[in-house]
Structure 1
Amino acid sequence: MLNIFARASVSRVTDPIGAALVRLGLTPNAMTLFGTAATIAGALWLFPTGHLLAGTFVVWGFAMFDLLDGSMARALGGGTKFGAVLDASCDRLADGALFSAIVWYLLVETDHPVLAVAALINLVLAQVVSYIKARAEASGFTSADGGLVERAERLIITLVGTGLTGLGVPYALDVALWLCAAGSVVTVVQRVLAVRREALGTAA
């Protein structure tokens, strides 16, 4: 949902940066791989060891590279089909690393198995939300986009929770993870219903 409203504003900032990186000889795919590798490394190193505030800034910083690869692709005249597949695949890896690291922190560092369940729910739903869109598009549907909680919202909600927890705010991560899980459930339902409506309309 945030992507729809923020894309134009963000692009005005990132497009000049993306064009400059292209002039330096960098490629969108290289930026995607670098940002993903750094995000995964930061999440798996910092969150399981209890460095929540540092992990929040590191993961958020490198997650922003996901904006730059799109800007670089536009500077080159548009992305490629391979680039789109690579970007989506790397997003799933980064999301998996983030929530897996949080699960490890909750189970090992804080012995909080109930909240770890919330993190696991988010781990699964993050993949399902994206899979619905990919499977729908492979079947020729175009309506399985958007929804209440997409990747940008998941990152914002989760990282606000980890950051505030790192600052000592009680229950911040609890609220963030359960809120994100509830929003992701809504998004799954929204996307499935959107595809169903499109399928019924096509059949009619």
Structure 2
Amino acid sequence: MLNIFARASVSRVTDPVGARLVRIGLTPNATTVVGTAGAVAGALWLFPAGHLLAGTLVVWGFAMFDLLDGAMARAQGGGTRYGAVLDASCDRIADGALFCGVTWYLFEVAHDRVTAVAALVCLVSAQVISYIKARAEASGLSANGGLVERAERLIITLVGAGLSGLGVPYALETGLWVLAVGSVATVAQRLVAVRRSAMEETA
């Protein structure tokens, strides 16, 4: 949902940076891989160790590479089909690592099995939300939009984790449950969108 409203504003900031990175010889695909590797390492190393604030900062920092690779692709005149697949695949890996790290923290450090359930719901639904869109597009249908997309998942999870790291009570728990409910709703929204798209084709 945020993607619709924020894309143009973000591009005005990232496009000049992306063009500069291309000029010094970096590639969008390399940026994608580095950003994903850093986010995965931060999520699986810092969160399970209980370093919520540090984990939030590291994952957020490397997640910003996802904005730059798109800007770099535009600076080169447009991305490649391989680059699009690589970017989407790396997004799924980073999302999975984030929720795995948070779930690990909740089970092993916080001993909060109830909130860990919410994290697991977020983990599974994040993959399903993206899969519905990919499978729909492969079938020539549309499944765009929804209440919770990748930007919302990152913001809600990392803000909750960061505030918890600063000592704010129930920040992570609240964020994860809100995200779990929103993610399940988004799965339903996208399935409805696919059905509507299919009915329009046959009408």
TM-score by shorter chain over 0.5: yes
Shift of 1:169: 0.6
Matched, 1:135 2:131: no
Counterpart of 2:46 in structure 1 is 46
| CA RMSD across the alignment | 0.5
Where structure 1 has 5 or more consecutive residues not aligned to the other structure, the ranges are none
Structure 2: tracts of 5 or more residues without a match: none
C-alpha distance in 2, partners of 1:31/1:54?
A: 22
Deviations 1:62-108 (A, max 9, x none): 00000000000000000010000000000000000000001110000
How far residue 145 of structure 1 moved from its aligned partner, in angstroms, is 1.2
> What pairs up with 1:82-121 in 2 under 5 angstroms?
82-121=82-121
Q: 2:11 aligns to what?
A: 11
Partners in 2 of 1:76 and 1:201 — Cα distance? 36
TM-score, normalised with respect to structure 2: 0.99
Q: Which residue of 1 aligns with 2:195?
A: 196
Structure 1 SS opposite 2:123: helix
**Once the 2 structures are TM-superposed, how far is the Cα of residue 4 of structure 1 from its aligned partner?**
0.4
The match for 1:184 is 183
How far off its partner does 1:48 sit?
0.3
CA drift at 1:146: 1.2
Per the alignment, residue 161 of structure 1 pairs with 160
Letter of the aligned partner of 1:181 in structure 2? Answer: A
C-alpha distance in structure 2 between counterparts of 1:173 and 1:71, whole Å = 31
Separation of aligned partners in 2, 1:199 and 1:42: 41
Whole-Å Cα distance in 2 between the matches of residues 150 and 86 of structure 1? 18
SS at match of 1:42: helix
| Alpha-carbon separation, structure 1, partners of 2:110 and 2:137 | 41
2:62 paired with 1:62: yes
TM-score normalized with structure 1 length: 0.99
Where do 4+ consecutive residues of structure 1 move more than 6 Å?
none
